[in-house]
Amino acid sequence: MEEIKKFDRHIFICINQRAGTDRASCGEAHGMELVAAFKKRLNDLKLPIKIRAQKAGCLDVCDYGPTLVIYPEGVFYVGVQLSDVDELIESHIVNNQPLERLRLPSSKY
């Protein structure tokens, strides 16, 4: 039986786009660009861990702006901009320290 590839860290980036509503939606606010930026930066860094960044459907906190979650910790980040990608990777992935300024308070989920 073939071994299933496992990851040390997994980044899910919301690209959901809502139709027919005034509610915010991550996908309309550069969701796919965030996916591409995370993939490129992680590839450039060639970190010694298995990590994957990928698009995800709704993470149910779109009202807080572009959202992503990093597992296995389950830390949600909101209001994420393209300019935050390097800092998020450096803080959370490289140094194992959640980036508090973008972190969704646990009381919100």
pLDDT digits (tens, 9 = 90+) for 39-76: 999 999 999 999 999 999 999 887 888 999 999 999 99
For residue 41, being part of any structural domain is answered with yes
Residues 69, 42 contacting (CB under 8 angstroms): no
pLDDT of residue 17: 83
pLDDT of residue 42: 98
Q: Which residues touch 86 (CB under 8 Å, ≥6 apart)?
A: 41
CATH number for position 54: 3.40.30.10
What confidence tier does 25 reach under pLDDT thresholds 50, 70, 90? confident
Name the token pair of 56.
Answer: 């995800």
DSSP string, 63-107: GGSS-EEEETTTEEE-S--GGGHHHHIIIIIIS----GGGBPPGG
Give the tens place of pLDDT for each residue, 30-47: 899 999 999 999 999 999
- How many domains does the chain divide into? 1
Global pTM reads 0.89
Number of H helices, E strands in the chain: 2, 4
Name the token pair of 87.
Answer: 């800092």
For residue 7, being part of any structural domain is answered with no
For residue 32, being part of any structural domain is answered with yes
Taking alpha carbons only, the member of 64, 67, 109, 69 closest to residue 92 is 69
For residue 92, being part of any structural domain is answered with yes
